[in-house]
Structure 1
Amino acid sequence: METKSIQSVTKDITRACLIEKVLPAIRAKWPAFDSNNPIFLQQDNSRPHIGNNDLEFIEATQQDGFDIRLCFQPSNSPDINVLDLVFFRAIQSLQYQKGPKNVDELVEAVERSFDEMKAKQLNHLFLTLQSCMIEVMKDSGGNNYKVPHLNKNGLEREENLPLQHHCDIDIVNKDLALLQQ
Structure 2
Amino acid sequence: MFMSAIARPRYSEDGTCTFDGKIGIFPFIIEEPAVRASKNRAWGVIQMKPIESITKTVIKACLLEKIIPSIMAEWPSGCDKHIVVQQDNASPHINDNDLDFVDVAQSDGFNITLANQPANSPDLNINDLGFFRIIQGLQHEKRLKRFVKILKLGGNNNYKLPHIKKGKLARRGQLPNVLTAPLDIVEKALDKAINGQSI
TM-score by structure 1 length? Answer: 0.66
Match of 1:5 in 2: 50
C-alpha deviations, 1:13-55, integer Å up to 9, x for none?
2111001111122123323222333x22233343322222111
The count of residues paired between Structure 1 and Structure 2 equals 149
Structure 1 residues without counterparts, runs of 5 or longer = 96-120
Letter aligned with residue 155 of structure 1: L
5 Å-filtered alignment, 1:1-181, equals 1-37=46-82, 39-73=83-117, 77-79=120-122, 80-83=124-127, 94=138, 128-131=143-146, 133-181=147-195
Letter aligned with residue 177 of structure 1: D
Tell me how far apart the structure 1 counterparts of residues 168 and 93 of structure 2 sit (CA, whole Å). Answer: 41
Please give the secondary structure, in 2, of the residue aligned with 1:33. coil
Q: Following TM superposition, where does structure 1 have runs of at least 4 consecutive aligned residues deviating by more than 4 angstroms?
A: 84-95
Tell me how far apart the structure 2 counterparts of residues 166 and 93 of structure 1 sit (CA, whole Å). Answer: 23
Q: Which has the higher contact order (CA 8 A, sep 6+)?
A: 1
Tell me how far apart the structure 2 counterparts of residues 176 and 10 of structure 1 sit (CA, whole Å). Answer: 35
Please give the secondary structure, in 2, of the residue aligned with 1:9. coil
Q: Matched residues, percent identical?
A: 43
Structure 2 residues without counterparts, runs of 5 or longer = 1-45
Please give the secondary structure, in 2, of the residue aligned with 1:65. coil
